[in-house]
Amino acid sequence: MGGVYVVGVGLTKVGKHVNDSFRDLAVEALLAAIEDAGGEKPDAIVVGNMLSSLVEQENLAALIADHAGLRGISGFKAEGACGSGGAAFLAGYSLIASGLFRRVVVVGIEKLHERPTPDTARGLAYAADADYELIYGVSFAGLNALVMRYYMNKHGVSRDEMSAWAVMMHDNAYENPYAQLRKKITLEIANNSPVIADPIRLYDSCPLSDGAAALYLVPEDLKWVNDTPVEVVGIGNALDSPDLSSRFELDRFIAARLSAERAFKMAGVSVKDIDVAEIHDAYSIVAAISIEEIGFAERGKAPKMWAEGRFRPGDKPVLNPSGGLKARGHPVGATGVYQIGEVVMQLRGDFPGVKVGGEVGLAQNVGGIGSNVTTIVLRR
C-alpha cells in the first residue's frame, strides 16, 4: 500500500446559498480542488452527502460529474450520517491506495436550506434510530441534550465552562472567510441564548448550513502536481449503535476512541504529536467528548481546559482554528471534507483565517451521536 496525498483543496463559503443549486455548489468546490491540483481531470469522484433525499435527488456522483463536464469517470456517494464526509474520504483513500484509480476527488455537499426547517430537523434525525428513537418524536438535538445533561451532572461542569467553547469558536471563525457565523460573542450572550433542548442552548449548537468542499487525492508518484502535497498518514473509522438507549456509557463515544486509535497506530504518531486538529463540535457536548476520546483531555476535563484558555492559537494542539461546526458551520455531508481541507491548508500554511502551522494535523468527523466516526492524521 503506497502513500496517498492531498494535492488539491476546494472550499465554498458556508452559509445559506439561495442562488446556487445543489449541483452548482458541489461543482464549485470540485472545480476549485481540480484547479488547486494542477487542472488534470480526475478518474473518479466520491460524494459525501447525507440528506439529498430531502430534495428528492440521489445518484449524486452521476449528477455532479455530469454538471462538471466529467461524464465517463467513475464514482458513487458515501454516507455515514453527519460523518458522511469522513466516510467519503475513507472510500476515496481506498480507491487510490488500491491502485484502481490515480486521481480521485472527494466532494462533500449538503444544502440544508432547500426545505423548511422542521423538515430538515426531521431529516437530521435519520442519523439516529428510526425504529427505537425517531418514532417517539425525539429530535437529534433532544438526544444530544440527554448526553449533555448527564455529562454536566456527572463531571460537575458549569454553564460558563460549556459556553466558553462557543466563544472560542466564534473568535476563530471571525478570521475565516469561509465561515458562516463571523461575529464575536461573549459568555453572557451564549449563557442567555434561547434553549433549544435543555440544557442545549442556541450557542451550544451548530447552525443549519449549506456548503460544499472537495479534496483531490493522488498516489505518491503524482504528488508533484502540487508544490505542497500533504500526506494522509493515518485513517481510522469505527461504528457504534445509532441508538443511545443501548449504549453502556452515555458520556463516551467508543467509536471516536477506536477510530482515533486506529488512525494514530497507522500513522505511527501519538496524540502529543498533533499540532492542529479540526474536531466535530456539532454541539458543545460533542466537542467535549470527542476531545476526551481522541486523548487531548482526560474524561470530564475538556470543558475546564478550554475554559482556562487551552486549545487556542499558540497552544498545542490548536483545536478548530476554522471556527468549527459551531461557527464555520455544519453542512452535514460536507463537514468532514471541510475539516480535512482546513487541516491540509494549515499544514501547507495557506489557510486564509487563523494560522497555526505545524507538521502533523488531525481531523475527526462524527456521524450520529458517535456512531460512525472517521479520524484522519495528516503530515506536511
Question: Does 231 interact with its own copies (rule: CB under 8 A)?
Answer: no
Question: Does 40 interact with its own copies (rule: CB under 8 A)?
Answer: no
Known catalytic residue at 82: yes
Phi-psi region of 121 (alpha: psi -120 to 50; beta: other; left: phi over 0): alpha
Output 127 or 157, the one with its CB closest to its own copies: 127
Question: Does 62 interact with its own copies (rule: CB under 8 A)?
Answer: yes
C-alpha distances out from residue 11 to 106, 197, 200, 216, Å? 12, 31, 29, 12
Residue range at the interface with its own copies (CB under 8 A); choices 188-196, 293-301, 341-349, 364-372:
364-372
Question: Does 71 interact with its own copies (rule: CB under 8 A)?
Answer: yes
Residue range at the interface with its own copies (CB under 8 A); choices 63-71, 201-209, 210-218, 287-295:
63-71
Question: Does 56 interact with its own copies (rule: CB under 8 A)?
Answer: yes
Of residues 118 through 157, those in contact with its own copies by CB under 8 A are 122, 125-131, 134
Smallest gap from Cβ 83 to its own copies, in A, equals 8
Q: Cα–chain-centroid distance for residue 96?
A: 21
Report the alpha-carbon distance of residue 210 to residue 20 in Å, rounded: 10
Question: Does 245 interact with its own copies (rule: CB under 8 A)?
Answer: no
C-alpha distances out from residue 89 to 55, 96, 196, 197, 340, Å? 24, 11, 32, 32, 9
* 334-361 exposure pattern, b = at least 16 Cβ within 10 A, e = fewer: bbbbbbbbbbbbbbbeebebbbbebebb
Of residues 251 through 290, those in contact with its own copies by CB under 8 A are 254-255, 258
Report the alpha-carbon distance of residue 213 to residue 262 in Å, rounded: 25
Q: Which of 17, 170, 280, 330 is catalytic?
A: 330
Smallest gap from Cβ 119 to its own copies, in A, equals 11
Of residues 90 through 109, those in contact with its own copies by CB under 8 A are 90-91, 93-100
Strands (E), 198-306: 200-201, 210-219, 230-239, 276-278
Output 332 or 354, the one with its CB closest to its own copies: 332
Active site positions, annotated: 82, 330
